Chain A
Amino acid sequence: MDLETLLSYPWRIMLPEFTILGVATLISILDLFMKEKVERKVLAWIALGGIGLALVFLLFNTGQPVQEILYETYRLDGFANAFKFIFLVGAALIFLTSLDYVNKKDVPYEGEFYYLILTAVLGAMIVASSADMITLFVGLELLSISSYILVAVRKHNLAANESAMKYVISGGIATAVTLFGLSYIYGLTGTTNLFEIQERLAAAALDGYLPVIYFAFFVTFVGMAFKLSVVPFHMWAPDVYQGAPTPVTAFLSVVSKAAGFALVLRFFLVTMAGVIDVEQSRQAGMYMMALGNVELMIALVAAASMIIGNTMALRQTNVKRLFAYSSIAQAGYILVPFAVGAHLLYQTGPHLVIGPALFYLAAYLLMNLGAFAVIQLVIKETGTEDIRGFAGLYKRAPFKAVAMTIFLASLAGIPFTAGFIGKYYILMGAVGAGLVWLAAVMLVTTVISYYYYFGVVSQMYMREPGERAPLKTPAGIGAVLVVCIAGTILLGILPNLALDLLETHFNLVEIFLPARG
């Protein structure tokens, strides 16, 4: 690769990434030269500014034709842009909540907290834009390693240390499993480029390698399930969510999870599309059974996540653990379109998979980050992570209680909220594809989830508070709450604001279009 080739690339498509990288570097240097005693709040503001700038560059990138650089390993398309929006907006909201959270006593290396979130976001962005297994893996690891340190950032907190340890070990295993699966795919195809894999896997399928392909698929999926925190790799979530600093928990449950979905969708939709086509062209019963198995496997994972997440949440008294199980369940809902998609992919293209998943992710971002903002405030104020900390919140802080009610209602899928429309959209897909049993599991577990979501609600309204003093809202959290409430309700009443945007500005079918030629 000579200089001329390098300069010929349209580097501006990576401007959002460069901005984040630049700001992260800048903050780390500033952190190095700042005096020990000085407050690092200013770094958070610089980081926020950087995210804002990256969002602006991202805006310029949307609607552009598909472009690839670095030997087709890194690509710009509607899919990547949509996910990057989710990551950046999520990160910005998390920065706003962490302004109030981070202090010297708890987090000795305050500066690190800020730039590690940026590097994690950078990793997520790389994942979303990858067209190559290597880039995908590099992005994933950048995200993971940043997250491991973020969980441990409360250096003197025993629980935090323990949960970080668990996170690193189980994360390491998941990485190994993923790599194991990827190695099979490389062995079958001899390439790391996703689009070449697509062609060669199809050829391999024709040659009778289907069982191996499914094995590779199965192992890779199981490994990637870790980031989604779906069954079977969900055990880490409750412990890690509980031990991590609350903004980091919010980050893990929203941004990191969205990155996991970007990874799974990008990788499997692109690589497996050819294989599924091949199978459709064959009417042989055995192959159809195999296809059924892929679909069935994802559907089972989705169903198991919904059932385990929602039923285990019933028994939780720690609010962060409760939300860990809730997020396992929510990931199960988002997997439903993917199970549907494997079935319908060859007919209609991927927007039917990605559309509902993306809409729900956006809704989930708003409602979950909003909920975590309130949780953070309540934990800080009451000093307990027990659900009883919410007792009588309505009397102490009516605005926050109402906000929390809206977020919980949205998570539970009550009408007039984004969560309801998201679920409805997913449900339409499931019923349309004939997966009525999966739709039924989704609805029944949703009703089960009423119990624990409304458990928090009844604490807020139906119990007496331990203390009567009103709660103060720091400006950052106030801003987050306003944004999240507005978004949750707006998307619930006028969902076409987002649906149209998705359709007109983010061409999701592009995920299949190689830019070569």
Chain B
Amino acid sequence: MIENMITWLVFSPLLGILLLLFVHRENERLIKAIGIVATLIPLALSLMLLRFFDFNQEGYQLTHTVPWIQFTLPGTGQALEINYELGADGMSMAFLVLTTVISTLAAVASLYIKQRLKAYFILFFLLMTGMLGVFASMNLFLFFIFFELTIIPMFFLIGIWGYVERERAAYHFLLYNGIGSAVMLVAFVTMFMNLGTLHIPTLTEWLAQPFVPQGLAAGLFLALLFAFGVKLPVFPLHSWMLKVHVQAPPAIVMIHSGVLLKLGAYGLIRLNMGMLPAQMEQFAYLIALLGVVNILYGAVLAFRQRDLKLVLAYSSVSHMGIVLLGMGAMNYSGLQGAIFQSVSHGLISALLFFLIAAIYERTNTSMIPELGGLAKNMPVICGALLAAGLANLGLPGMSGFISEFLAFLGIFNTYPALAAVGVLGIILTAVYVLRAVLLTTFGPAKEQWAGLKDVRGFEYVPITVLLGLIILIGAYPSVLGETIHLSVETIVHGLLARIGG
């Protein structure tokens, strides 16, 4: 059981699909119940996996390997194998748990969905399998397959259940991410043809060897940077993500912002940094610079937005910049900050989008000028919004603070000038977050919002769980720090070995 538990975890969301197939599509109560309960299985499995996980062991654990595809290599006639290989190290573990937690909460948030529930949840579970698969893949072929598997359900989820301009947003999503994946596939096939394997640990070892041509390695690095840059998203490849944030249904935005953007961060850290440390060193300044651009660009534009969703979308652009900045620092605390920021932003943005969805549900708008004074009638939701906003701007004691602190600590050691400019982002963040939150919640209460109800039963669940986790990580960072410690150390060790420090 333990040896293939990771397979169970990745494919357990499919159990939900199996159950749903036997339910009539009119039976909405049952579908909703299954939709939520079935996400608890992967959640439980991921927590169980966490129990079996040995935090003092380096490298991948809990691996499950099965021989899968054999190609006869065109060219040399050599036989090439692609195995089905799943496993997890500390970093994977952190993201796996993040995925299951956010998915469960997004399933709860899916109670806002009104139509075609059965199809919705089937796609939801497919999406979940794709996300879990990416984080658990020890093999780039699988990584790619699962990566693609997240795109197709997302296309439908945005295009069918989104807001007015949903189809445009779905197409933007599909084409941008399709191009990213295509570039990624070229990189993977090139690796496969040159080194004969797609096994991540083997590649990590081999790609660092001196016999790998520098041009090839640099090409791979840039291709992967582009592919994950689209996903993260890095300015100027971000425009699709704004559309998705505005048009997709709230539960899906929670997943998108909370987990899917992290696929980009995960890929950059695992593949660019982990497998190509020498090239990472070459391009570190570029990446840090891109990070600063993201931070400032996102923050400035977030300030200009009138739509709460767009404020948060740009805020995500800005916060993903901190991930880049942490990576560019090329040291332990920087990388730790990057991973912390990925997880922390996942939780915070999921919470923020849930709250916006709750507000939209009641008021039918997310335009800041139309809102205002909501706190009178909805004190709990507005309180939570304020708390989430404070977490977002990095208030000490919450997860955002520790992430930014670590990332900036790292970057100040490496590129102090960039760091100094980047820090401005923190101030700008405070400005736009407070402006948005205060304009929505305080001020004179508008008449038309007089009868609004405050938080309802099921809405407590995402709010308390997410806030709890945000404060937990903020107050006791080693919860996350110890999980990822060895992964970070391994990657940084690889980097230092190259730099010679």
A interface residue numbers (CB < 8 A to B):
337, 340, 344, 347-349, 351-353, 355-356, 394, 409, 414-416, 420-421, 424-425, 427-429, 431-433, 436, 439-440, 443-444, 446-447, 450-451, 454, 458, 461-462, 495-496, 499-500, 503
Contacts and interface: CB of A to CB of B under 8 A. Distances in A.
A414 B148 contact: yes
Contacts of B185: 424, 427, 443
B186 A436 contact: yes
Contacts of A500: 70
Interface string B61-75: 000000011111111
Interface string B169-204: 011001100110011011001101100000000000
A347 B75 CA distance: 8
B152 A458 contact: no
B156 to A, nearest CB: 6
Given A432-B193, A440-B186, A461-B156, A348 B70 contact: no
B171 A344 contact: no
Contact of A454 (B145, B149, B171): B171
A352 B79 CA distance: 12
Contacts of B182: 443-444, 446-447
B160 A454 contact: no
In the A-B complex, list the 9 residue pairs whose CB atoms are closest, starting with the nearest. A352-B74, A429-B74, A443-B182, A415-B145, A447-B178, A432-B75, A432-B193, A415-B148, A431-B189
Nearest to B79: A503
B163 to A, nearest CB: 13
Given A432-B193, A447-B179, A495-B69, A461 B159 contact: yes
Contacts of A394: 119
Contact of A461 (B80, B160, B193): B160
A352 B193 contact: no
B178 A352 contact: no
Contacts of B60: none
Nearest to A421: B69
Contact of A427 (B73, B170, B175, B189): B189
Contacts of A446: 178, 182
Given A431-B186, A462-B167, A454 B193 contact: no
Contacts of B72: 351-352, 355, 499, 503
19 contacts: A347-B75, A348-B74, A349-B77, A352-B72, A352-B77, A355-B72, A416-B145, A421-B69, A431-B193, A432-B75, A439-B189, A446-B178, A450-B174, A451-B174, A454-B155, A458-B170, A495-B69, A496-B68, A499-B71
B74 A428 contact: yes
B159 A433 contact: no
B30 to A, nearest CB: 19
Given A337-B74, A446-B182, A424 B189 contact: yes
B148 A340 contact: no
Nearest to B162: A462
B186 A439 contact: yes
Binding site secondary structure of chain B: helix
B149 A415 contact: yes
Interface in B6-22: none
B357 to A, nearest CB: 21
B74 A433 contact: yes
Contacts of A444: 179, 182
Given A337-B74, A424-B185, A496-B68, 15 more contacts: A349-B77, A355-B72, A355-B74, A356-B74, A425-B71, A425-B74, A427-B186, A428-B80, A431-B193, A436-B186, A444-B179, A447-B179, A458-B167, A495-B69, A500-B70
A219 to B, nearest CB: 28
B283 interface: no
Nearest to A443: B182
B179 to A, nearest CB: 5
A436 B275 CA distance: 22
A287 B399 CA distance: 67
Interface of B: 68-77, 80, 119, 144-145, 148-149, 152, 155-156, 159-160, 166-167, 170-171, 174-175, 178-179, 182-183, 185-186, 189-190, 192-193
Contacts of B159: 458, 461-462
A100 B366 CA distance: 53
A294 B287 CA distance: 43
B179 A428 contact: no
Given A416-B149, A462-B167, A352 B186 contact: no
A433 B75 contact: yes
Which of A394, A415, A500: most chain B Cβ within 10 A?
A415
Contacts of A351: 72, 77
A499 B171 CA distance: 34
A428 B193 contact: yes
B75 A415 contact: no
A443 B144 CA distance: 14
Nearest to B180: A447
A458 B193 CA distance: 36
Contacts of B68: 496
B160 A450 contact: no
Contact of B174 (A425, A454, A495): A454
A58 to B, nearest CB: 24
A470 B366 CA distance: 39
B170 A496 contact: no
A351 B75 CA distance: 10
A424 B80 CA distance: 13
A273 B313 CA distance: 59
Nearest to B155: A454
Contacts of A420: 145
A309 to B, nearest CB: 17
Contacts of B156: 461
Which of B77, B160, B179, B185: most chain A Cβ within 10 A?
B185
Contacts of B119: 394
A432 B73 contact: yes
A446 B167 CA distance: 20
Contact of B73 (A428, A454, A458): A428
Given A427-B185, A447-B179, A450-B178, A352 B145 contact: no
A409 B186 CA distance: 20
A414 B152 contact: yes
Given A428-B189, A431-B190, A344 B75 contact: yes
A404 B49 CA distance: 38
A436 B215 CA distance: 14
Contacts of A356: 74
A232 to B, nearest CB: 27
B186 A443 contact: yes
Nearest to B174: A450
A348 B160 CA distance: 50
Nearest to B141: A424
B24 to A, nearest CB: 13
Contacts of A439: 186, 189
A215 B417 CA distance: 64
Contacts of B160: 461-462
B21 to A, nearest CB: 11
B244 to A, nearest CB: 16
A451 B175 contact: yes
A498 to B, nearest CB: 11
A432 B74 contact: yes
A499 B74 contact: no
A496 B186 contact: no
Contacts of A440: 186
Contacts of B167: 458, 462
Nearest to A356: B74
A42 to B, nearest CB: 39
A353 to B, nearest CB: 8
A447 B74 CA distance: 24
A409 B189 CA distance: 21
A443 B148 CA distance: 14
Contacts of B179: 444, 447
A249 to B, nearest CB: 27
A255 B171 CA distance: 33
Nearest to A463: B167
A504 to B, nearest CB: 12
